[in-house]
Structure 1
Amino acid sequence: MEFNCIIERESFYLNVKDKSLSISNQSTSYTFDLSLKIIITWLFRENEMNGFILENLIVEGDSLNMKQLRSYLGGEITYTGIQIFYSFNGEINVGKNKATKVCSLINRQTKLKFSCKCFKKSVIGIEKIHKEIEIIKKASQYGLAPKIYECFSSNNCVYLIMENLERIQDQAFMEDDIMLFLYNLIQSISLLHKENIVHKSIKKSHIMFTEDNKLKLVGFGKANNANIQNNEFRLDIFKIGIIMHKFYQKQNFQDDQFSLIPDEGNSLLESLLNWKSNSHFQLKELLCHPYFKLLKTEGISLQIQCMNPKFKTHIFQDEEQESF
């Protein structure tokens, strides 16, 4: 992206390319590497965005160019002034450690609804916050996590603006719903592991859906993408087994024991709970398990997909749900 701008009444040329933002003319040049550490404060004149402050530079320009720049930069850098652009819409969910909370926001201009995760800087630390955001960004590139739109900062908090997702009431699941759910979940974890990301906190409260029922993961607070230990990969698979076990407990009204799962489901459950391999390539063995044969006979394309048409039967808001 490129356009003309003004700094202290001098004409400059702004260019964003290859993870850097440069502002230059014939005599002066400024270059900034794009990262969440870069903070921009937007400037307004007569309710129109007409510039920004970056470090000690006051950059002015055409309102349309500034809007396009804000959209183009997205979650690559950090902005200030979240209340200028978004209003609170309710539904606050506070994390157990009270270091994060998730709420719903409305874009003041478009009136569209978004999810916002708020991180408390003094509790988590800015480096750890940025690490989690970067992991979510990487996972979202493959459709495995919420899409990130913008990142804002205040004196006390960092705010991550993401697509709005929904949770499904699992009591309404049918047998093939559970199969398709587990298939997509295993495949999602397989892709995360392929990108050298371990989630480490797989649970039903961290599994969400888009409006068209595409499965996405949240809850990346414990995720890791560096110096990963072998047992971290196995932990993700084990937790899928826990989810499967809980599904069939509810199906069969059993609280303490393993139930008889049809279509060789017990064999799959045992494989999940006792997974030994550290290689994401071996997860293909799970996806080829006989438990999933019913999906094949229904002609379902076995790839990351939506859960339509029969999956979404009821949407609910759990007051005790954990935050992202």
Structure 2
Amino acid sequence: MGCLQSTQTAQHNVKKIKAGVAQLRQLYNINPKVLGSGTFGKVFQAENKSDSSHKVAIKVISKQKLSREEIEALHDEVAILQNLDHPNIVKYYETYDDVKFIYLVMELCPGGELFEKLTSNMQPFGENQAASIMDKLLRAIIHCHKQNIVHRDIKPENIMYGNDGEVKFIDFGLAKQTAKANQKLHTVAGTPYFISPEVLNGNYGKECDLWSLGVVLYLMITGKYPFDGNSRAEVFTKIQKGQFSFPESVQKKVTPECIDIVKKMLTVDRNKRLSGENALKHPWFEKCLKKLEGSSNILDVEVMKKLREFKGSSTLKKAALNVLVKMLNPKEIEGLRIEFQKIDTDNSGFIEIQELENALKNANYDMSANEIKQIVSELDYSGNHKINYTEFLAATISVQKFLTHQKLEAIFRQFDIDGNNEITQENIKDAMAKLGKDISQEELEEIMKRHDYSGDKAISIDEFKKMILGND
């Protein structure tokens, strides 16, 4: 989990749950081989018993090794991960808890660290490859910053490759979610080579993440750290002065635009440093990331039809489809990611009402303002008054195409908490808590009324399938 330290509670508290290791083992086959270990626990690979193609990472953290403050810090980290929903940020699935351990089920990133790619290559990355990686990392960090989350420990070791080959931020152990957008932080946190001048001075905000990304970019194109020295004190002195240069050999190989964006990200004055949004607009990206021939910014009409049809789905159906989406390989839904980005014009990782209105207008698709608001409200499973990435995918994927029998059974088991081959109101309540969601008694009664077709006060797997595939 990285370094844990006491932080103020994140804006959404982690829900306490009853499920422990017994239910964890009911759902997953856990490989005993340790993928990684740290001060507080170990990481294992596991696969879903009902769908072996769905593999996850499980972090097993010993409560006995944690102080009360460290447990609170861990809860804050999980709360932050629950708020994040972006293709270039590691996915959080669920939490299990018992007397001795906390079990975090996360997306598996089998492609290794960016650091490993850098050190295994005999030469630095090419500009186009570096630009592709940095484009995705900037979009991810904008998503964080829009929610007042500062990562504070960006470095190649905390950037991993998923099973789709996409880079993903991991380890939010030092991340901080502030109550206000421009609230300053004062605790010195981070890794020496990547730490910004203002962090060293103990008065900083989200701009520190852009500095760290600038160091990562310099490292990708040169194979060296911009600020190096024989001691930590020497490194820190160079950082505070912004004292770095490009090797002559690199200057001959890379474009002036590349050197310019690095300099603007490694500007000592944080007020003059590029923001994430402005960095994405830099000419370097336009030069390196050429638009695919024939690609269009016009929204696919089929996507809009799907959004329209999703209205009226029950809380259980929305939850089930959100689970399905997280089980899919991102390559399978690449087209929908592109459609999402067409609507998300400010790169926040959310779709807001005005953005959806603009996309519809651009596509000449007729829909009233009230219906647009209703769509956003219906898709807003997380309750933040916007459409998250996973919510968008849940509404627009072809369920018939992706819902195999194995995936159907795996999703059903997520809600069949006690393994009795049926889902009761109590099961739904516990399963939703495990996923970090609250559900009211009124919603539970509505779910049973709509989906307990036999009237036996429980939902069978056949009724569950009918719910997911149907329009009710």
TM-score past 0.5 threshold: yes
Contact preservation (8 Å) 2:57, 2:107 = yes
Matched, 1:161 2:116: no
Counterpart in the other structure of 1:93: 36
Match of 1:208 in 2: 160
For 1:276-315, list aligned pairs within 5 A: 276-277=269-270, 282-299=275-292
Greater Cα shift, 283-292 or 231-240: 283-292
* One-letter identity of the residue aligned with 1:130: H
Report the alpha carbon displacement of residue 221 of structure 1 after superposing the two structures with TM: 0.3
TM-score (norm 2): 0.43
Q: Distance in 1 between matches of 2:105 and 2:152?
A: 23
1:105 aligns with 2:46: yes
Q: Does 1:224 align with 2:216?
A: no
Q: Does 1:245 align with 2:218?
A: yes
Structure 1 spans left out of the alignment, 5+ residues: 1-33, 42-77, 309-324
For residues 260-305 of structure 1, give each alpha carbon's deviation from its aligned partner in whole angstroms, at most 9, with x where no partner exists: 34222222111111164569994322112222232344548899x9
Deviation at 1:196, TM superposition (A): 1.0
**Number of the residue aligned with 1:129:** 74
Q: 1:118 aligns with which of 60, 85, 92?
A: 60
Measured in 2, the distance between the counterparts of 1:279 and 1:181 equals 24
Greater shift in the superposed pair: 258-267 or 158-167: 258-267
Deviates more, 1:101-110 or 1:216-225: 101-110
Deviations 1:228-262 (A, max 9, x none): 4261312211111111122123289xx88633342
Q: Residue 278 of structure 2: SS of its match in structure 1?
A: helix
Q: 1:148 to 1:87 in 2, by over 3 A?
A: same
CA distance in 2 between counterparts of 1:88 and 1:225 reads 32
The alignment status of 1:190 with 2:125, answered yes or no, reads no
Query: Relative to total residues, which structure has the larger strand share, 1 or 2?
Result: 1
The residue number in structure 2 matching 1:39 is 17
Q: What is the aligned residue count?
A: 232
Which of residues 127, 138, 151 in structure 1 aligns to 2:95?
151
2:246 match: 258
Pairwise CA RMSD: 3.6
SS of 1:176's partner is helix
**Aligned residues of 1:234 and 1:275 also touching (Cα < 8 A):** no
Cα deviation per residue 1:61-83 (whole Å; 9 max; x = unaligned)?
xxxxxxxxxxxxxxxxx776433
Q: 1:276 to 1:184 in 2, by over 3 A?
A: farther
**Does 293-302 or 145-154 show the bigger shift?**
293-302
**How far is the alpha carbon of 1:35 from its aligned partner?**
6.5
* More divergent stretch after superposition (264-273 vs 103-112): 103-112
Query: 8 Å contact 1:99–1:120 — kept in the other structure?
Result: yes
Identify the residue that residue 234 of structure 1 maps to in structure 2. 207
Tell me how far apart the structure 2 counterparts of residues 280 and 193 of structure 1 sit (CA, whole Å). 15
Other structure's SS at 2:129 match: helix
Partners of 1:223 and 1:278 lie apart in 2 by 21
**Gaps in structure 2 of 5+ consecutive residues:** 1-11, 186-203, 230-244, 298-329, 335-472
Letter in 1 for 2:151: H
AA in 2 matched with 1:88: I
Name which of 267, 274, 291 aligns with 1:274. Answer: 267
- Are the aligned partners of 1:194 and 1:280 in contact in 2 as well (CA < 8 Å)? no
Q: TM-score, normalised by structure 1?
A: 0.61
Q: CA–CA distance in 2 between the matches of 1:179 and 1:302? A: 21
Give me the identity figure in percent: 23
SS in 2 for 1:269: helix
Whether contact under 8 Å (1:39, 1:79) holds in the other structure is no
Residues 164-173 or 154-163, more deviating: 164-173
Higher helix share: 2
